[in-house]
Structure 1
Amino acid sequence: MAKVYVFLANGFEDVEALIPVDVLRRGGVEVVTVSTTGEGQVVESSHQVQFIADAMIEDCNFSDADLLLLPGGMPGASNLYAHQGVREAVLRQYEAGKRIAAICAAPGVVLGQLGVLKGKRATCYPGFEQLLEGATYTADLCTVDGPVTTGEGPAAAFPFAYELLSQLVDQQTADQIAEGMRFKHLMQG
């Protein structure tokens, strides 16, 4: 079973974190939500929703991660980048050639500033593209370039999540989950 860690910092965008968690868990992926607050497992979203993470970053070893996921939102993305443990985990994952995903502000604020996107195609929330250091900005809902997957913003959370599920499990499972959640019906109508 694939394993994903989702980093949560105060100010994260609710749907960009929770839709991927939901979709991936429906698809049989082990998902661990990780508080980066340094103040316990409670993390507050950008819309003041209190979320209890599964673990605190200080207690995690990410060597078994198939994917590290960074939701956007502000100041959530900035808070992720400010955390040394997040930066180190992302760089280790990248250097190992393993999967990383970021959505909204996080592709630029975190991945771009870490140099992870140099020479890659990427997307992000409009206005953050100048932070995609060395990347070609696509403006697509979801962009995959090697082990790095980026998403545009809140409305991209579903296609972003289904793309990740297809990478971690298979396309058939992603399609079945999308159909069961009525996403395919939405896109047809």
Structure 2
Amino acid sequence: MPKALILIADGSEEIEFVTPYDVLTRAGFEVKSAGVKLENENWATCTRNVRIVPDHPTLISVPSQSAHEVFDVLVIPGGGPGAKTFSTYDPVLELIHEFRKAGKYVAAICAGTTALVAAEEKFHGAGHGKKATVTSHPSVESQIKEKGWGYSNDRVVVDGKVITSRGPGTALLFALTIVGLISGNEKRDEVARPMIVAETL
């Protein structure tokens, strides 16, 4: 059974958190969420004031040293304030680094891509590291390009084990892409069919 770890912080975008959690669960993944620097230890308050209770209130119960051995994919939602928390919090940057070093999937959507960029800069410095071609919300496009990363305006971009996407409106395609890459297109279609997914997302 594939396993996914999804991060959440205050100010994360709720659609970008809930949609991967839902779709990956439908696909038979064991999905766990972990709170990052939550003001209230019981829930995250998202960008539109939806409260979400993570499976793990902190990353302490999901040590970065072993998470990459347990989980097949790390999912990083967007939402400006939440993405800023991820991008400036060393345990998250270490987690991203460990997943990438182990050759595991890292999937980021919207402003969440900035955490991926920050992790590479922290561990490899500007101009080095395992950069990839990515996408993001347009609001953070320039800062990603400034760090020397390849950039695409496609709705979902896959470059090796890095999966990125643009925003709430692409969250379903983002999640289904993760399913297809890890569990195969047959499983992806099996999940999409009863959800009445449009042929063009």
| TM-score bracket for the superposition, by shorter chain length | over 0.9
Task: Classify the secondary structure of the residue corresponding to 2:138.
Answer: coil
1:121 and 2:127 aligned: no
Larger displacement relative to structure 2 (85-94 or 36-45): 36-45
Deviation at 1:119, TM superposition (A): 4.1
- 1:112 corresponds to: 117
Residue 111 of structure 1, CA deviation: 1.0
Q: Deviations over 1:85-106 (max 9, x none)?
A: 1111111111111110000011
SS state of the match for residue 148, structure 2? Answer: coil
Aligned equivalent of 2:177, options 163, 166, 182? 163
1:138-177 aligned at under 5 Å gives the runs 138-177=152-191
Identify the residue that residue 67 of structure 1 maps to in structure 2: 73
- Say whether residues 1:82 and 2:84 are aligned partners: no
Aligned to 2:60: 58
Mapped to 2, the partners of 1:150 and 1:143 lie a distance apart of: 5
Instruction: Tell me how far apart the structure 2 counterparts of residues 120 and 37 of structure 1 sit (CA, whole Å).
Output: 28
Amino acid of the residue matched to residue 35 of structure 2? Answer: S
- TM-score when normalising by structure 1: 0.92
Question: Is residue 14 of structure 2 the alignment partner of residue 19 of structure 1?
Answer: no
- Per-residue deviation at 1:82? 2.2
CA-based RMSD of the aligned residues comes to 1.7
For 2:150, which of 97, 113, 136 is the aligned residue?
Answer: 136
Provide Cα deviations, 1:136-171, integer angstroms capped at 9, x if missing partner. Answer: 111111000000000011111010000001112111
1:118 Cα deviation from its structure 2 partner: 5.0
Partner of 2:49: 48
Amino acid of the residue matched to residue 120 of structure 1? A
Aligned amino acid, residue 110 of structure 1: A
Deviation at 1:57, TM superposition (A): 0.9
Secondary structure at the aligned position of 1:20 is classed as helix
Pair 1:41–1:169, CA change in 2 (3 A): farther
Instruction: Tell me the SS of whatever aligns to 1:124.
Output: coil
* 1:47 CA drift (Å): 0.8
What one-letter code is carried by the residue in structure 2 that aligns with 1:12?
Answer: S
Cα gap change, 1:5 to 1:119, in 2 (>3 Å): closer
- Contact 1:35 1:41 survives alignment (8 Å): no
Contact persistence 2:93–2:118 (CA under 8 A): no
TM-score by length of 2: 0.87
**1:52 Cα shift?**
0.5
Structure having the higher helix fraction is: 2
